Structure 1
């Protein structure tokens, strides 16, 4: 699903990126995704109560157009957050300039930003770069890859996912591109929802299916709930987190509400990208899949998973491949979920670690240590409280993470 192939790029979109001069490194930092015609759109945004200027504009524009987007303008190197009215003015100026270039309404432009918070965005650099990036637009895989590269910040690798779906005698394509490495604990909510407590995660999912915005939003909500809302690198929720889903309709295949094959395909693509984001977490040496079962509800299972994923003591133990399962127990007990300590069971992979709330007689410390030395491993927990369950992906916490974030802005 992650192999870049031209024939997997959805029809109806063009892509390009350029150097606008926002990144100190001089690398590409401004990208466009342009729909040939205004595409159906659905989006989810950060639940952080401090929200970047482009997200305010995005929500306003989606309401104004009834869920239609023609141009996505993404800059890296500056979050355009905590900049007051100047930040909003910069986002609006980007939309106005893009609308002039592409002959669309300013409300059909969807701006996104990622980078350092609290620094004014030099929007004149983006406006100047627009004709340059417009001239480079194309629909091939290398154009798509330009976007994947330009939106990176502390990321070490590009993140893309692709899928083809046969519907009758026609083909529908889904492609996704994203970024995220640190400040990763997405808690995404619809743009129309009230804010609730989310380096920035930006995700753009494209399809050439024909889907009405309301249907698209429902499918995106379901896909995000089992993917991007199930990952955490450091427990910090960004001010800029955004997931945008666009449907061009260029395939001519109409997807009705409740069409399961398309909804499941969307979930597959979202999970692939979510796992790639975790794997590229800042300083990460271990990727951990948490499987929580037997909770009083699915929501309670997520509460337990997050308590574990956000515990510095647990995460540093993973960094050292230390099978200190007592830290897991402490995190579970501190989660606030319904538990009975004497009923908890824990496994590292297939290795039984805890039985009935105490150390399992068959626990092999050397084998457990060796298992945790793998780059990827799973931990299963059974609370024996009900039928609730979840799968959650997270990471260890290393000295390299501290180094990266100790001098991020300098």
Structure 2
């Protein structure tokens, strides 16, 4: 497997974006990904959605469509500027109407259309604007990198930068490509089942059955998108969709470790890009929890730390107040023995056996936390459980953004 710095688009996908008039800025806000198998049919699909019980209308439609088709998608229709959430029956009607119109435009069944929305919650979605834009978006379709980039730009809300990732893996001497595009900046604490909004679209030209695809997506998401948090809020619209066109002619069976690792690599890259672009973020923090009773306990500790306003504001000021970490560990609910906890800031030993380390250097610790990115390692010494988790500080910039932007 390998990272790819440039665009490497899998075969079987076309892209376009237009201005439908949903964003107050007047920027592009409606995009599509059209997927096609080697026979011109819908492609294998797998998806995970938010665990929030208040769920946006497009997610309800997506789940119904995936059940109806047995995990097949032909068109992904994504609008920004309106979340189509908390809009009652009108929201569902808008999503279904958009799917019906897209199906007519692109020559597929309505059930093969996968709608996604991001933006303001509680405002009716003007589906007529999306429907009116469909002929223009069809005319713009293309498979080149600039078309892919159009989607990356059109789905942004409070994001400052576009988020893309690419990789390739050799299977039986033949190349398989994986590409990812997504958005997410605020309202980021994905809890995707099983197990503003994050939308992620992963594309591959491998041939994979939907059941296998779902298993692989579950595994990749668990150690990537489910391991990040900006503000602890779980969006109503969080979606991760994985499509496999099969146009490389390379069939991937269950348990293919190389493909799984490459898929996870792409997902992790996108997840970290979301954290780095968090609203008002000045520090990105990698938490390395080890020695937990179980992996699940390690995640519990990481989330407790990542969601603590006291911890996050200390990071914003590069304050090496490790006592706040201890407090967050203590109330996390994980099994701990306080007198056995060890903490490092990077390579700097901060805490030993639950107390201040003899070699603790406050000035050095402060200097280390002034970096834009840093790591904190915590050893609970309770077992073999571990996890890596990415999070951020909490700044006045975050407050300013979210007092001026309706979510």
* Structure 2 match to 1:196: none
Any idea what the Cα deviations from partners look like across 1:321-375, whole Å, max 9, x if unmatched? 0000000000000101100100000000000000000000100000000000000
SS class of match (1:402): helix
- Asked if the contact 1:10/1:174 (under 8 Å) is kept, the reply is yes
Q: Does 1:317 align with 2:314?
A: yes
Q: Distance in 1 between matches of 2:390 and 2:222?
A: 13
Preserved contact between residue 4 and residue 141 of structure 1 (Cα < 8 Å): no
Q: CA deviation at 1:2?
A: 5.6
In the alignment, is residue 304 of structure 1 matched against residue 308 of structure 2? no
Q: Is the 8 A contact 1:41 1:213 kept in 2?
A: yes
> Which of 224, 248, 253 is matched with 2:250 structurally?
253
Q: C-alpha distance in 1, partners of 2:115/2:185?
A: 21
**1:389 counterpart = 2:393:** no
Aligned 8 A contact 1:2 1:160 in 2: no
Residue 292 of structure 1 aligns with which residue? 289
Which residue of structure 1 lines up, in the alignment, with residue 275 of structure 2?
278
- 1:4 is matched with which residue? 6
SS at match of 1:390: strand
2:350 partner SS: strand
Which aligned runs of 4 or more in structure 1 are off by greater than 6 angstroms? none
Task: Give the alignment's TM-score, normalised by structure 2.
Answer: 0.98
In 1, Cα distance between equivalents of 2:215 and 2:174: 23
Query: How far off is 1:397 after superposition?
Result: 0.2
Give, in angstroms, the shift of residue 4 of structure 1: 3.1
- 2:132 matched residue in structure 1: 128
The counterpart of 1:364, out of the listed 348, 361, 374, is 361
State the partner residue of 2:179. 175
Distance 1:40 1:229 in 2: 23
For 1:233 and 1:3, locate their aligned partners in 2 and report how far apart those are by CA, in whole Å: 26
Q: Distance in 2 between the 1:370 and 1:2 partners?
A: 33
- Give the match for residue 376 of structure 2: 379
Q: Hey, what does 1:98 align to over in structure 2? A: 102
Aligned to 2:14: 14
Name the counterpart of 2:79.
Answer: 75
Deviations 1:33-71 (A, max 9, x none): 001231100000000000000000000000000000000
TM-score normalized by structure 1?
0.97
Tell me which of 154, 157, 165 is aligned to 2:158: 154
Q: Is the 8 A contact 1:294 1:389 kept in 2?
A: yes
**How far apart are 1:167 and its partner, in Å?**
1.4
Structure 2 regions of 5+ residues with no counterpart? Answer: none
Distance 1:2 1:366 in 2: 39
Please name the residue that 1:30 is paired with.
30
1:291-343 Cα shifts (integer Å, max 9, x gaps): 00000000000000000000000000000000000000000001011001000
How is 1:51-70 mapped onto 2 (pairs within 5 angstroms)?
51-70=55-74
- The alignment covers a number of residue pairs equal to 401
Distance 1:206 1:322 in 2: 41
User: 5+ residue gaps in structure 1?
Assistant: 194-198
1:337 is matched with which residue? 334
- Are 1:101 and 1:130, in contact at CA under 8 Å, matched by a contact in 2? yes
Q: Distance in 2 between matches of 1:387 and 1:168?
A: 35
Report the Cα distance in structure 1 between the residues aligned to 2:240 and 2:336, rounded to whole angstroms.
Answer: 34
* Residues 13-37 of structure 1: per-residue CA shift (max 9 Å, x gap): 1000000000000000000000123
